[in-house]
Structure 1
Amino acid sequence: MSFNRQDQFKKLADSYDICVIGGGATGAGVALDATLRGYKVIVIERGDFASQTSSKSTKLVHGGVRYLEQAVRNLDWQQFKMVYKALHERKIMLQNAPHLAHPLALLTPCYSWFDRAYYRIGMWLYDKIAGSTNLKDSRGLNKKEIQKEVPALNLKKIVGGILYYDGQMNDARYALSILQEAEKLGATVINYTELSSFTCSHKSLKIKEVHGKDLIGNKEFQFNVRAVVNATGPFTDKIRKLANPNLQERMKVSRGAHIVLEKKFWPGDTALLIPKTDDGRVVFLLPWRGYVLVGTTDDADKLSENPVILEEEKTYLLEYFNRFSTEKVSPSDIKAGFVGLRPLLQVQLQTAMQGDTKSLVRDHEVEVDRRSKLVSIMGGKWTTYRIMAEDTLDILETEVLHVLKSPCLTKNHPIMGGDTFDMDLFLNSAILTLETRRHLYETYGSLAPRVIKFCQTIPQGTEVLLDGLPYLQGEIDYLKKHEMATSWDDVVNRRWGIGLRDAELGRKLEDIKKEAFASIS
């Protein structure tokens, strides 16, 4: 069967061991872990996969330099453990999907000799906590070396800098590829499918049946289930209250705004970490797939389906770009902007600064509702999605299913497209242009030759959609048939991601092929 909605509905069974609500990073991780443990799994997602927070991150695979600083400064063992776990997960994410995650060099500028020593020690500790990795160790740079590494950086008052390494990823495709891997191993995975209600046992009040609705085909369905995992990120409380209206809200939402500029304003491949803004935040300037990504903000917000970047957020991010770059930009230079809502767990609201989401640790918690037995995974961040899933399944087995089927097997399990593949041979082949071959590898990994073969079966399938861009006409049909794309929004903003990098270019592509999704069901 193919990874499309029609085939997934054909697979729809009368009963499952585990139903996962939510098709973002965490839900995808839970689905893959559970499937590898031998459970019969279904994932239902109200929108497209990773259409909310998981596709609107800062695209970093990192341990969290800021959290390490807070851990040392406050002698906070919990934050230290969180950094340790995240750094080890960073290595796993890079190895399990080398086509979607890669090393990234970042520079931290220093404006005093004390700062240089302070950050040098901090980054040395960061390296040591990470242990053996496939990344280079951090090192100090003088002013001349900085100019060579980051040519657009404003060197005024700089005495030196620290170059260190983290990871960068294609977040939307990473989540999709985890789900594809779970589906290949037997899971049922469906997007644009809404949870309608639960039916609970009259005797135990435990959830025994899930009712859903296909939002595209406008059909209702139901199935029996042994356990339900709520992995809906910022929307966690909605599902919790659907299962048990008496539960208190546990989540706090923070908005992270980003803007995208042309690459010419930040040449080179090295990112910049601004360790402390005037209001105590962290801002990144990141080379990102032919553009430069600037972010992020961290402000308390209300829950919303489609958060839109505000003018004051654009102004804030532009101000810091202009402060640190010799290339000055204006609002008209912004190619795109987006906002992701972070799901922050309110573990200790009494100790958190009033209304300040920066003081809440992005760790996670697994909650089992005593009445309905709904399992909710709350908090966390992209880099730790895998151990969040592992913790969720361990607790679910112990407290809900009362069985230990098998240990977690995801640590050394490549996700879809991440298995062994001769990238150099593919990139140096004579098929198509180098730009298109690189796009195909960085999008599909080891499946790139399969995509080319598919495109060759379609008239004009190996021709590009638009001169100067790498996207093939045949890819549209491939994405519909094999990646469950149901609209141009799915393609432009998540399967390819160009809409989040260049909004005007995304609209231009849509105008060319706007009839392609007229008959999706």
Structure 2
Amino acid sequence: MNREKNWERLRQETFDLCIIGAGASGAGAALDAALRGYRVALVDRGDIAGETSSRSTKLIHGGVRYLEQAIKKLDLAQLRQVRHGLAERRTVIRNAPHLAHPLPLLTPVFSWFEGLYMTVGLTLYDFIAGHDAFPKGSWLNRAQALSKSPMLTRSMHSAVLYYDGQFNDARYALALAHSADEAGAAVVNYAAVTGFTRENDRLKSALIHDQLTGETIEVRATVFLNCTGPYSDAIRLLANPDLEPRIRPSKGVHIVLPRETLNSEYAILIPKTADGRVVFAIPFGDKVFVGTTDNDYSDLTHEPLLEPDEVDYLLDTVRPYLAKTPDRADVQAGFGGIRPLIVSSRADTKTLLRDHEVEHDAQSGLLSLLGGKWTTYRIMAQDAVDQVGALLNKFTKSSTETHYLIGGENYRFEDWQRMQKQYDLPAEVCQHLMRTYGNRASYVAELTRQNPDLAARLTDNQPFLNAEVVYQVREEVAVTLRDVLARRWRLELSDWQLAAQLAPQVASLMSAELGWSDAQRTEQIRTYQDLISTFMSRAGLEPEQTWALT
């Protein structure tokens, strides 16, 4: 992807479809539409997956909670949601096997009856999934459960094992956008829609402001599709001020603990909490993510931050399930996201449906893809682009179900061994490159051959290479420190201290590629380190004040 060239395309071309928002649904819709042969523009006011789509629990799932509610309330809508999620679960993994894989989860139970109840429910979950590639669950006795997850509490009676999927959400969205770009879409991040022009009340063009240069241009398109998640109402009202709000935002946060908290490849599902939520403790890289919460959130002008009471809630929730109880000193990072729940008559956000809707405003012509969740992004995108085809009077069938994303086709993790021999890189580095870039990993490794300095690691205890930063700038439209540290890598999510410490090294590499002045480079570092300091202070953790600017 080349941002400068794509910006020029926005200036010069007329598009069939302009998609606003480059998260899961927007990037997914851009790929779907481009593969159908439509002329597509994809813009986002921030980075690709810069908001909700990079801050999920990293699970691809049908929804165990939805299944329980569907059975208890005889709710066919929730049962249908589970079925769609489980069907899409295997597609998400198939199309990007380097970024997604099955994940075993254990649910500790404290009585024979509780174990039977969970076993029956999760057996039904497997039955609905059908004959996919996922292993089937089972009911384990205490000794069997401890052999798989040795840090579980000894007071449990037994544990129920089942499988769902895990993925790298930010890089998955990036792979969707990158794949759309290669299919012909013009993808531009840091491009904010500030208004529309109209012809007979119908949207004719979007006014798009370049957040990096300050330039504003007019982008012409036949159809505009709003995929801005929790921010959807702002675009809807920009297109038609008479519309009623449809989104009820909900905040969910996670805390990050050391890998030793679980010391296992097995995640934990905590099915019962003080307020009726479901909480997960999930191994992700060298950390454990614990979450999530679910509370109304109204301040959409500010990023949702981890608060002290949320830290306490998640620690209190996970403690009864572990032999060694984590405390505040163990928390190494955290992150918050906003769910785009569709307004309904239900009483609270824990019971609001997260299914999706494609809304067509007949007056302005704006399409809005509302609600949904990561697992079903492809179906959401397909439904939206079907409506685009109807408005264009140019219908073509979607082909995304079997379309490999960037890095996914012919992917074999074992190829890291060949890469190690070819480029003389450490084994753990080659494994990291394969899991991050898939069959494009050799593109990164080749940079180390062209410039041996790029073969150096940024830090001894992580596999990140200098070459990756160069690749991310040249090929993955990374233009800020946070693009790299939070989304191209997931370091900000897992270790606030280390992310702040590595900022100067990453800034130097980006500066050489992007032509930053010394003042610009210093400002990037200072801004990012101040952000991390704010995160830590707001969460009630002690920031380290010795981060260097160089």
- TM band (smaller chain): over 0.9
Q: Indicate the SS of the match to 2:350.
A: helix
Q: Does 420-429 or 453-462 show the bigger shift?
A: 420-429
CA–CA distance in 2 between the matches of 1:332 and 1:140? 34
Partner of 1:146: 145
Q: Indicate the SS of the match to 1:135.
A: coil
Is 1:481 matched with 2:474?
yes
Partner of 2:309: 312
Q: Which amino acid aligns with 1:235?
A: Y
The CA deviation at 1:511 is: 2.5
Aligned residue pairs total: 509
The CA deviation at 1:320 is: 1.7
The CA deviation at 1:265 is: 1.6
CA–CA distance in 1 between the matches of 2:413 and 2:455? 20
The CA deviation at 1:520 is: 6.0
The residue correspondences of 1:10-159 to structure 2 (distance < 5 A) are 10-12=8-10, 13-156=12-155, 158-159=156-157
Partner of 1:401: 392
**Does structure 2 conserve the Cα–Cα contact (< 8 Å) formed by 1:455 and 1:475?**
no
Partner of 1:416: 406
Q: Which amino acid aligns with 1:342?
A: R
Q: Indicate the SS of the match to 2:447.
A: helix
Q: Indicate the SS of the match to 1:359.
A: coil
Q: Which amino acid aligns with 1:318?
A: L
Partner of 1:271: 267
CA–CA distance in 2 between the matches of 1:47 and 1:422? 33
Deviations 1:40-66 (A, max 9, x none): 000010001101000000000000000
Q: Which amino acid aligns with 1:422?
A: R
CA–CA distance in 2 between the matches of 1:257 and 1:76? 28
Partner of 2:520: none
Q: Indicate the SS of the match to 2:400.
A: coil
Partner of 1:344: 341
Q: Which amino acid aligns with 2:150?
A: P
**Does structure 1 conserve the Cα–Cα contact (< 8 Å) formed by 2:470 and 2:510?**
no
Is 1:382 matched with 2:363?
no
CA–CA distance in 2 between the matches of 1:186 and 1:454? 26
Partner of 2:322: 325
Q: Which amino acid aligns with 1:189?
A: V
Q: Which amino acid aligns with 1:486?
A: V
Is 1:452 matched with 2:445?
yes
The CA deviation at 1:459 is: 4.4
The residue correspondences of 1:485-504 to structure 2 (distance < 5 A) are 485-504=478-497
The residue correspondences of 1:127-276 to structure 2 (distance < 5 A) are 127-156=126-155, 158-202=156-200, 205-276=201-272
Q: 1:520 to 1:315 in 2, by over 3 A?
A: farther
Deviations 1:2-24 (A, max 9, x none): x1312222333330000000010
CA–CA distance in 2 between the matches of 1:139 and 1:127? 10
CA–CA distance in 2 between the matches of 1:85 and 1:520? 47
For structure 2, list consecutive stretches of 5 or more residues without a partner in the other structure: 517-550
For structure 1, list consecutive stretches of 5 or more residues without a partner in the other structure: none
**Does structure 2 conserve the Cα–Cα contact (< 8 Å) formed by 1:266 and 1:327?**
no
Q: Indicate the SS of the match to 1:411.
A: helix
CA–CA distance in 2 between the matches of 1:281 and 1:520? 48
CA–CA distance in 2 between the matches of 1:279 and 1:436? 42
CA–CA distance in 2 between the matches of 1:265 and 1:257? 18
Q: Indicate the SS of the match to 2:260.
A: helix
CA–CA distance in 2 between the matches of 1:360 and 1:520? 47
**Does structure 1 conserve the Cα–Cα contact (< 8 Å) formed by 2:413 and 2:431?**
no
Partner of 1:365: 357
CA–CA distance in 1 between the matches of 2:164 and 2:154? 23
CA–CA distance in 2 between the matches of 1:265 and 1:220? 49
Q: Which amino acid aligns with 2:211?
A: L
Q: Which amino acid aligns with 1:185?
A: A
TM-score, with length taken from structure 2: 0.91
The CA deviation at 1:502 is: 0.5
The CA deviation at 1:421 is: 2.7
Q: 1:110 to 1:328 in 2, by over 3 A?
A: closer
The CA deviation at 1:152 is: 0.5
The CA deviation at 1:310 is: 0.5
The CA deviation at 1:280 is: 0.5
CA–CA distance in 2 between the matches of 1:113 and 1:267? 26
Q: Indicate the SS of the match to 1:292.
A: strand
Q: Which amino acid aligns with 2:374?
A: W
Q: Indicate the SS of the match to 2:454.
A: coil
CA–CA distance in 2 between the matches of 1:230 and 1:511? 36
**Does structure 1 conserve the Cα–Cα contact (< 8 Å) formed by 2:413 and 2:435?**
no
CA–CA distance in 2 between the matches of 1:51 and 1:327? 35
CA–CA distance in 2 between the matches of 1:196 and 1:442? 37
Q: Which amino acid aligns with 2:405?
A: I
**Does structure 2 conserve the Cα–Cα contact (< 8 Å) formed by 1:4 and 1:480?**
no
Percent identical among aligned pairs is: 41
Q: Indicate the SS of the match to 1:213.
A: strand
Q: Does 428-437 or 387-396 show the bigger shift?
A: 428-437
Q: 1:520 to 1:53 in 2, by over 3 A?
A: farther
Q: Which amino acid aligns with 1:27?
A: G
The CA deviation at 1:394 is: 1.4
CA–CA distance in 1 between the matches of 2:319 and 2:41? 47
